[in-house]
Amino acid sequence: MLISERPDGARAVPDLSDMRRFMPMVLPTRTGATLFFHLPVEVGATQRWLASPEAEGTTFFHVFCAAVARTLHERPQLNRYVLGGRVFQREGVEVSFAVKKGFRDEAALTMVKVALSPEDGLADVRRKVDAAILIGRGADRTTVEHELAVLNRLPMFVTRALVALAARL
Distance from C-alpha of 13 to C-alpha of 121, rounded to nearest angstrom: 28
Integer distance in angstroms from the first to the last C-alpha of the chain?
A: 13
Burial 114-136 (b: 16+ CB within 10 A, else e): bebeeebeeeebbebbeebbeeb
Reported as a pLDDT band with limits 50, 70 and 90, residue 147 is: confident
What is the pLDDT at residue 1?
A: 46
| CA-based R_g, the chain, Å | 19
The answer to whether the beta carbons of residues 94 and 115 sit under 8 Å apart is: yes
In this model, does residue 76 exceed pLDDT 70? yes
Across the chain, mean pLDDT equals: 88
Tell me: the pLDDT tens digits for 8-24?
Answer: 777 767 788 888 888 88
> Rounded CA gap, 116 and 73, in Å?
9
Instruction: Report d(CA 95, CA 61) in Å as an integer.
Output: 11
pLDDT of residue 4: 55
pLDDT tens readout for residues 81-131: 888 788 888 989 999 999 998 888 998 888 899 999 999 999 999 999 999
| This prediction's pTM | 0.78
DSSP SS3 for 127: helix
For the segment 58-72, the average pLDDT, to the nearest whole number, is 97
